[in-house]
Structure 1
Amino acid sequence: MIDILVHIVIALGLPPLLLGVIGKTKAAFAGRVGAPFLQPYYDLARLFRKGVVISETTSWIFRAGPAVTLAATLCAGLLIPLGRHTAPISFDGDLVLFAYLFALGRFFTTIAALDTGSSFEGMGAAREVSFACLAEPTLFFALITLTRLSGTLSLTPMLNHLDLSVWLGTGAALILMLAGLFVVLLAENSRIPFDDPNTHLELTMIHEVMVLDHSGPYFGCILYGAALKLFLLGALFVNVALPFTTGSSLADWLVFLAGMLALSVAVGVVESVMARLRLIRVPQLLVAALILTAFSLVLVVR
């Protein structure tokens, strides 16, 4: 029961901090002090205190989009274990629900953008779903690889099955899978080199262009949902990358938190040393990630 409460507290409270760590890392590379680690929390508090401006051309879909997206992501957070602990909800086949809760959120974000009637936001929505067609198979190949290794379709026993002995036997496949997952993590969260969440009104934007009409609490829900999505995909990555248990519940939580912070630093490093790709290069990188995870499955099955 305590582990479940800790799971919920961490899943709800930690995601904005990851954005703060990424921002600090990028500032350090640029030789700046940067915003404080808690700046994302301040931004969310400011947005939730603001009013909302809604276009007269929109319908209930525009207002429901941020709420449904956030709710779907929160539900996904109950399915994935954090560290070596059990997820609050676990059943056979929950990995499919985990993946498609993200798809549900993307669907409502997309139709909310289309509901504005803006061709600019429609352009971003088209790009979002096009690239998702390449990112989702990569995620599923990774999950199928883990299913093959663990013999289960549930995320908790699947990820808890991984240990040093599994890594020693199938390390090459897991490294390929982690490389593909890291690319998906960057793509799904609109990070460089796929997109830049700090830019506005650029013709190469993907995700940010879809939420230009949102403001106040609606925009706050979108930002928090994006941070939560980064946290959950990062948790999947860390669970695979740190396949050991200390025997102590507290120590396992600390190891998981350290892994998440290290992953945030890694994302910040990538964003600092790489430029955003040309739009026509984005599908090529996603296909490369798909091939990596497909090869990882081949290595496990053979």
Structure 2
Amino acid sequence: MIDTIFHVVLVLAMPPLLLGVIGKTKAAFAGRVGAPFLQPYYDMGRLMKKGIVLSDSTTWIFSAGPVVTLAATLFAALLVPLGKHPAPISFEGDMILFAYLFALGRFFTTTAALDTASSFEGMGAAREVSFSCLAEPTLFFALITLTRLSGTMSLTPMLQHVTLPVWMGTGASLILLLAGLFVVLLAENCRIPFDDPNTHLELTMIHEVMVLDHSGPYFCCVLYGAALKLYLLGALFVNIALPFASGNAYVDWVVFAAGMLLLAVAIGVVESVMARLRLIRVPQLLVAALILTAFSLVLVVR
């Protein structure tokens, strides 16, 4: 019960903090003070107090997009273990449900963008689904590799199987897997070098252009859902990268939270030292990530 409470609290409270840490890291590289770490919380609270503006050309699909996407992501959060603690919901094959809950959210986000009848949002939706076709197989190759190592298709035992002895035996495969997952993490959350979440140039945007017409609480759902998706894919990465278990439940929670904050710093560093890729280069990097995870699977197949 205590593990479940900690799990829910971290899932609900921590995702916006990652955005604050990323922003603060980028500001430090630019020689600026930057916004406070808690600025994303302030922004979401302000959006919840605003009204909603709906276009005459939209239908119920536009309103359902942010809500269904957030609901699907919240349910996916119940399937991912945080650190060395089991997820609240675990069953054989839940890794497939985890991946396709993200796909469900993507479907409603892109459908809501198309529902606006805007050519700009339609362009962003086309880019989103095109790049996800390359990112999704990479995620599945990574999960299949972990399935091969653990002998299970459930996320909790699969990730808890990645211990220090496993790293000693299959470290090369796991390094390739982590490299591919990090690329997917950046691509699925539309971070640099794939996209710039702070840009306002419609011709270069991917995710942000799809949510231009959302406002008020709907836009808050979009922002929180994006932060939560970053958190969950980051948790998958941290669970593999930090195979240590102290034996003390509270210490393990602290270690996991610290690992997530370090991952946010790493994302901020990447966004500070790299420029956004040209669109024609994005598929090439995603294919490279796919090849890395495919090779990680080859290394564990006996």
TM-score, length of structure 1 as denominator length:
1.00
Query: Aligned partners of 2:156, 2:162: CA distance in 1, in Å?
Result: 10
- 1:185: Cα distance to partner? 0.2
Query: Aligned partners of 2:56, 2:279: CA distance in 1, in Å?
Result: 32
Runs of 4+ displaced beyond 3 Å: none
Aligned to 1:9: 9
Does the residue aligned with 1:190 lie in a helix, a strand or coil? coil
Aligned to 1:299: 299
Aligned to 1:248: 248
- Computed over aligned residues only, the root mean square deviation of the Cα atoms, in angstroms, reads 0.4
- 1:202: Cα distance to partner? 3.0
Instruction: Check conservation: 2:120, 2:202, Cα contact below 8 A.
Output: no
Cα displacement string for residues 176-215 of structure 1 (whole angstroms, at most 9, x for unaligned residues): 0000000000000000000000011331110000000000
Cα displacement string for residues 17-44 of structure 1 (whole angstroms, at most 9, x for unaligned residues): 0000000000000000000000000000
Cα displacement string for residues 123-175 of structure 1 (whole angstroms, at most 9, x for unaligned residues): 00000000000000000000000000000010000000110100000000000
Aligned residues: 302
Aligned to 1:46: 46
Aligned positions of 1:35-114 closer than 5 A:
35-114=35-114
Aligned positions of 1:65-214 closer than 5 A:
65-214=65-214
Query: Aligned partners of 2:87, 2:144: CA distance in 1, in Å?
Result: 19
Query: Aligned partners of 1:217, 1:280: CA distance in 2, in Å?
Result: 35
- 1:76: Cα distance to partner? 0.3
* Structure 1 spans left out of the alignment, 5+ residues: none
* Structure 2 spans left out of the alignment, 5+ residues: none
- 1:99: Cα distance to partner? 0.3
Query: Aligned partners of 1:79, 1:12: CA distance in 2, in Å?
Result: 14
Query: Aligned partners of 1:149, 1:66: CA distance in 2, in Å?
Result: 36
Does the residue aligned with 2:48 lie in a helix, a strand or coil? helix
- 1:115: Cα distance to partner? 0.2
Query: Aligned partners of 2:202, 2:78: CA distance in 1, in Å?
Result: 36
Does the residue aligned with 1:228 lie in a helix, a strand or coil? helix
Query: Aligned partners of 2:201, 2:61: CA distance in 1, in Å?
Result: 23
Counterpart of 1:132 in structure 2: which amino acid? S
TM-score, length of structure 2 as denominator length:
1.00
Query: Aligned partners of 2:164, 2:44: CA distance in 1, in Å?
Result: 40
- 1:244: Cα distance to partner? 1.3
Aligned to 2:18: 18
Query: Aligned partners of 1:186, 1:12: CA distance in 2, in Å?
Result: 21
Query: Aligned partners of 1:213, 1:200: CA distance in 2, in Å?
Result: 13
Does the residue aligned with 1:203 lie in a helix, a strand or coil? helix
Instruction: Check conservation: 2:18, 2:227, Cα contact below 8 A.
Output: yes
Aligned positions of 1:273-284 closer than 5 A:
273-284=273-284
Counterpart of 2:24 in structure 1: which amino acid? K
